[in-house]
Structure formats: C-alpha cells, structure tokens
C-alpha cells in the first residue's frame, strides 16, 4: 500500500501561509514563523497545497507502507 505525503523544501519556504489555508485536513502549520510543517499523521496527499504554493516548493511523495 502506498501513502501520499506532502513534502516542503523548508529552506525555500517564505512562510506565506497559502498552503495552510487550503489544506482540507489542517495538516500544515507554520513552524516558528519560518517554514511550513506537514503533520504526517493528518496529510492525505491530496496535493492542494502543492498547487497553491506560489514558490512551487511542495512536492507529493509516495511512500510504500508495509502492511
């Protein structure tokens, strides 16, 4: 089984908060005002945040989950 997960390139994040607003699972927070942090337990890999990010620094990663 594969799980899809959003991954932020933290060094390039402007902490604008655009991704936070569109996430249907409230899985993203801005960590210490510096970069977007994804809660892996909440993220469903829907990619809405990746489409919204003005810097295009969110990628959706596929993780293989061993059942």
DSSP assignment of 1-66 equals: -EEEEEEE-GGG-----HHHHH-TT--EEEETTTEEEE-TTT-----HHHHH-TT--EEEEEEE--
Q: Tell me whether residue 1 or residue 26 sits nearer to ligand SF4 (CB atom).
A: 26
Binding mask 6-35 toward ligand SF4 (x if CB under 6 A, else -) reads x-x----xxxxxxx--xx-x-xx-------
Q: Please tell me whether residue 37 binds ligand SF4 under the rule CB under 6 A.
A: no
Taking the alpha carbons at both ends of the chain, their separation in whole angstroms is: 7
Shortest CB 28 distance to ligand SF4, Å: 5
- Residue 38 or 66 with smaller CB distance to ligand SF4: 38
């Amino acid at each position: 089984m594969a799980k899809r997960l959003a991954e932020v390139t933290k060094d390039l994040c402007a902490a604008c908060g655009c991704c936070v607003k569109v996430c249907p699972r409230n899985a993203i927070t801005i960590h210490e005002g510096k970069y977007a942090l994804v809660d892996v337990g909440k993220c469903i890999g829907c990619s809405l945040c990746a489409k919204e990010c003005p810097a295009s620094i969110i990628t959706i990663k596929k993780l293989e989950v061993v059942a």
